[in-house]
Amino acid sequence: MEQQFEECVHLRNEYNHMLAYYNETNELLPHESHHVYDNFAPLDPVMEVNDSIICENLLAKETILVQKVIECTDLLLQSGHDVLSRLKIWKEKQVRGQIGYPFPKKDAELAAIDSEFGTLFDYISKLQELANELLIMLTQSMGTPENAQNSSIAQLNEINSQLNLLYQALLPQVLVVTNQPELVLITKRYMDTMEIRFLGAKKLGMELQSNMPSVHFKIITEELAKQITGENMVEEVGKIENTEGKFAANANQHMTVKFSKSKLISVERQADCSSKGCQKSKKEQKYVLFFYSDPLILKNFGRVNLWTLSLPVMVGVNVSQDCDLYATIFWQRAFGSIDYHGNIEDEPQSVTWPQLAEAIKYQFQSFTGATRCLTQLDTDYIAEKMFGPAPYNDPMRQGTFIERARFIKDYMNNVQFSCWDWFYSIMRLIKEEKILEFWNRGWLIGFISYDDATRVTVMSRLPTFLLRFSEGTKGALSIAGVVDTVTANGQRVERRSFHLSPMGIGDLQKMSLVETLQVNQDLHYLYPEVTKASILAHFVKTAPVSTTPSTRYWPAIKSESAVHRS
């Protein structure tokens, strides 16, 4: 872009010199030789030929110059289109990134976009100055054909119009929420630090302002967010403390404003929640944070008011609501649109199983902080719980569509909870009950059925046990294994399988999993052949286990036929 603009400037200088020479030559001629002013004056043929040649050269240079300015403008318009497309892609990555999708170059990509916004604003200003200068030259030039002059003026006016449209397309995008609010906001709690960046701020004269303007925010419904035009008044639906911040240059000289001490106090109910139907909508009501600046004085714009919107969030009053609230926002982040004013649905109501499986994998790792990812076998197991065995002609379920309601709301077979309820409770179990170390080291298989757990332990060479997630109880861990009855000389007489009662969060708070393994003398080898002693030794190094006998009731080992399948 710089080279093309320099060519424009070079041509402008040449044209300016030619125009000055042409005007000066005409002014130095005797009065009677000025055929422009006196149509009846006698004409000198030599002078007329020279005058005609100069005029033709001037017109040719003018045509080349205007064409070069048009080319430069077209290039700038294409650059503007490209950078807006890249910003949209960046925002889409940010949406997915909130549930764990990788976004490794988040800061670098936005820094490049920020720089390009500045370049665009800079060259829009320069090209407009050049176009306006040429318009003045053309209106003051003498002798050029009127039709050619009018054509150039029309082209330059069109250039100014196109540049103004580019300005208007870029300006609403300059405020970007770089640090989004957390997915679920809880009332009476402080919010995570949020950050707004002003793209291209320096080129718009922001660094020259001694008293930096403030940015404020309020909470509104998603429905209202879709109706905002920038002109209408925006009414908040909740109360938040500390909602003001000032622009400042950060360590990287980017113009930003941070909100680090904001606290959501309350939100207003959107309907009469006495009915059952309202409770359903309450769980799905999404909110948006509306950020808006004090009036700004920007270069080439004058006084403006800027605003932007956060991604949708859910609001709850305590963590007991998290499962339902996260369900709504998970689906939106995984499959929704960031276009508040588009004509498409915010989120599809059904997706293919491979799409959902991918989202589940990333959400699991992001939510739990696990270093061990879900495998294909893990997601196949989850799919089988919802659909049953995979079709013979579609083993990867590429053609299997799953509706949002089936995943989030509908109960699975033989249980009173949905697949999301079951999956979310497992994530909470791993994250909050310090089972994460077992999972990361591969000591917790987790996603294996009752029957498969029985089969692999019965077939093991040694008396083995394994750790799995209960199928019949949400957020619970079960131990499956076998006990061998042996004779005095070490000969195995009988192998008996067992499944211990599922241990939920409450159980594990009374006695940890490490303590459970330690006190049970019938557990020897973790599948496939990891000694229990080595597992306990690992945890003794990191956090010594108390040797004081626990008062927690230890469920007796029961045979497979004596326990409810879970």
pLDDT digits (tens, 9 = 90+) for 289-303: 999 999 888 877 778
- Overall average pLDDT of the 520-527 stretch: 92
For residue 357, tell me if it sits in a domain: yes
For residue 341, tell me if it sits in a domain: no
CATH number of 206's domain: 2.60.40.630
Q: For residues 289 and 309, is the Cβ–Cβ distance under 8 A?
A: yes
Residue 341, CA distances (Å) to 98, 226, 338, 498 in order: 22, 5, 9, 57
Shared domain check, 110 and 15 = yes
For residue 217, tell me if it sits in a domain: yes
How many domains is the chain partitioned into structurally?
4
CATH number of 355's domain: 1.10.238.10
Q: How does pLDDT run across 246-259, given as a tens digit for each residue?
A: 999 888 889 999 99
For residue 274, tell me if it sits in a domain: no
For residue 394, tell me if it sits in a domain: yes
Shared domain check, 306 and 427 = no
Shared domain check, 7 and 148 = yes
Shared domain check, 62 and 148 = yes
Q: Which phi and psi angles does 340 have, rounded to 5°?
A: -70, -25
Q: Which phi and psi angles does 554 have, rounded to 5°?
A: -100, 120
**Domain end call among 432, 458, 493:** 432
**Domain end call among 370, 404, 432:** 432
Q: Which residues contact 519 (CB under 8 A, 6 or more apart)?
A: 511, 549, 550, 554
Which pLDDT does position 109 carry in this prediction? 97
Q: Please indicate whether residue 140 or residue 371 has the higher confidence score (pLDDT).
A: 371
CATH number of 450's domain: 3.30.505.10
**Domain end call among 381, 410, 432:** 432
Q: Which residues contact 264 (CB under 8 A, 6 or more apart)?
A: 185, 186, 187, 188, 189, 191, 219, 238, 239, 240, 315
Shared domain check, 165 and 20 = yes
Shared domain check, 446 and 394 = no
Please report which confidence band the pLDDT of residue 40 belongs to, taking 50, 70 and 90 as the band edges.
very low
Q: Please indicate whether residue 561 or residue 508 has the higher confidence score (pLDDT).
A: 508
For residue 329, tell me if it sits in a domain: no
Q: What is the value of pTM for the model shown?
A: 0.86
Shared domain check, 136 and 237 = no
Which pLDDT does position 26 carry in this prediction? 63
Strand, helix or coil for residue 480: strand
Q: How does pLDDT run across 192-249, given as a tens digit for each residue?
A: 999 999 999 989 887 766 678 899 999 999 999 988 876 567 889 999 999 999 999 8
Which pLDDT does position 211 carry in this prediction? 73
For residue 27, tell me if it sits in a domain: yes
The structure tokens listed for 124 are: 């829009």
Shared domain check, 533 and 401 = no
Q: What residues make up the domain containing 145?
A: 2-172
Q: How does pLDDT run across 41-76, given as a tens digit for each residue?
A: 444 454 444 667 777 777 788 888 888 899 999 999
Question: Residue 184 above 70 pLDDT?
Answer: yes
Q: How many degrees, rounded to 5, is the angle at CA 71 between CA 65 and CA 77?
A: 135
Which pLDDT does position 346 carry in this prediction? 63
What is the distance between the alpha carbons of residues 340 and 222, in angstroms, rounded to a whole number? Answer: 8
Shared domain check, 168 and 108 = yes
Shared domain check, 359 and 425 = yes
**Bridge-partner residues for 478, per DSSP?**
468
Please report which confidence band the pLDDT of residue 27 belongs to, taking 50, 70 and 90 as the band edges.
low
Shared domain check, 264 and 243 = yes
Which pLDDT does position 210 carry in this prediction? 64
Q: How does pLDDT run across 320-329, given as a tens digit for each residue?
A: 889 999 999 9
Shared domain check, 287 and 371 = no
For residue 339, tell me if it sits in a domain: no
Please report which confidence band the pLDDT of residue 545 belongs to, taking 50, 70 and 90 as the band edges.
very low
Lowest mean per-residue pLDDT among 45-54, 77-86, 116-125, 157-166: 45-54
Please report which confidence band the pLDDT of residue 542 belongs to, taking 50, 70 and 90 as the band edges.
low
Question: Residue 20 above 80 pLDDT?
Answer: no
Strand, helix or coil for residue 456: helix
